[in-house]
Amino acid sequence: MSTPHNQANKGDFAKTVLFPGDPLRAKFIAEHFLTDVKQVNGVRNMLAFTGYYNGKKVSVMGSGMGMPSVGIYATELYNEYGVESIIRIGSAGSYQADCKLFDVVLAEGACTNSSWAHQYGLPGTFSAIASFDLLKKAYDKAQELKVRTHVGNILSSDIFYNDRPEVWKNWARMGVMAVEMETYALYSIAASLHKKALTILTISDSFIVSEETTAEQREKSFTDMMKIALEIAE
C-alpha cells in the first residue's frame, strides 16, 4: 500500500509518529535515538523511519512546512497507515519574555489566521486543542527531566514574512506564547478523525529580543523535546 506522497507499506509505521518539520531532523532522531532502524519513505525527500526506542516501536517522519504540507502527511498517516498518535516536534518564535531560547513549549491549544477549519462547515470558530492524555504525559515527563517548560496557547500562522511586522503584538497581548505554522491543522485533523495529537516546540528565536538559533542547532540540538516525545510515545 502506498499513497502519492508515501511509499511505505501497511505496517511500516508504528502507532505513534514523531513529526518534525525538517526531514533531516527526522533522520537525526532515527540515527541517534532509535535502534533497528528502517527507512520507510523517501518520496519528495520527506524522510520517514521506523525503529525502536527502549524496546518500543516508534516512527519519525518529516512533515514539511505549513498547514497544507502537514495536512497531507497527517491525514495519510491516520487514515491509511493506522497511526493513532502524532507528536509534532518543531521550532517556534517566542511572543513572551519568559519564553526563552531553547525553552520547551507544550501547545495546549492553537490559534490561527488560516481558513483551515472552513472545510468542516462549522457555524462558528473551532478551538484546536491537544490530546489531554499526551499533554499530561509530556508535562510530567518534562518535569521529571527538569526541562524548562511552558504550557499554553500558540499561533499557527499561514504567514512567515508578514506585511505588518508588528501584528504579533496583538496575539502576545492575548497571552499567546509563540508562533509556528502547523499545529492548528494537525489538531483539527486529529479531532475530525478521533485520533491523538500533541505539539512540543523548542523556542528557536524571539520577537522580544534579538536572538535566534542556527539552522544546524535547529536540526541537531533540540534534544529535550525529542526525548520527551520519545518517552511518551505509546
Which of the residues 12, 22, 205, 224 is marked catalytic?
205
**Is the alpha carbon torsion for 19, 23, 29, 30 positive or negative?**
positive
Q: How far apart are CA 208 and CA 67, in angstroms?
A: 25
For 16-232, CATH number out of 3.40.190.10, 3.40.640.10, 3.40.50.1580, 1.25.40.10 equals 3.40.50.1580
Phi, psi of 185 (to 5 degrees): -65, -45
Global pTM reads: 0.96
103 among known catalytic residues: no
Q: How far apart are CA 220 and CA 216, in angstroms?
A: 6
How do the pLDDT tens digits run along the chain, 234 residues long?
689 899 999 999 999 999 999 999 999 999 999 999 999 999 999 999 999 999 999 999 999 999 999 999 999 999 999 999 999 999 999 999 999 999 999 999 999 999 999 999 999 999 999 999 999 999 999 999 999 999 999 999 999 999 999 999 999 999 999 999 999 999 999 999 999 999 999 999 999 988 777 877 776 669 999 999 999 999
